[in-house]
């Protein structure tokens, strides 16, 4: 069994029909495996995978700029809660 990044293994799972239909409609038939893998990864991998994920997000300059703009725009909302 290979543990190299990017190596894939086939897994057959059973889900409720309504869950499958929602996944198929929202994610698409070719994206379900990746979606479930990405969803499960932080729950089953060590903290290293989480750190790698945060590093990848931080490296995305567009995402970081949009996140900073959003955070700056919501600062005024805190003052309204008092």
Beta strand segments in 5-60, E: none
Distances in whole angstroms, Cα of residue 71 to Cα of each of 42, 45, 54, 64, 67: 24, 29, 17, 10, 6
Q: How much is the pLDDT for 36? A: 93
Q: How much is the pLDDT for 20? A: 95
Question: What is the block-wise mean pLDDT of the chain (82 residues), using blocks of 10 residues?
Answer: 70 95 94 91 78 86 90 75 58
Q: How much is the pLDDT for 82? A: 58
Q: How much is the pLDDT for 16? A: 97
Q: How much is the pLDDT for 1? A: 45
Q: What is the pTM of this model?
A: 0.50
């Amino acid at each position: 069994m290979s543990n190299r990044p990017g190596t894939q293994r086939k897994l057959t799972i059973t889900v409720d029909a309504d869950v499958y239909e929602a996944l198929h409609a929202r994610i698409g038939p070719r994206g379900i495996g990746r979606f479930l893998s990405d969803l499960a990864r932080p729950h089953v991998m060590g903290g290293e995978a989480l750190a790698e994920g945060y590093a990848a997000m931080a490296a995305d300059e567009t995402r970081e700029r949009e996140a900073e703009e959003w955070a700056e725009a919501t600062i005024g909302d805190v003052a309204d809660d008092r």
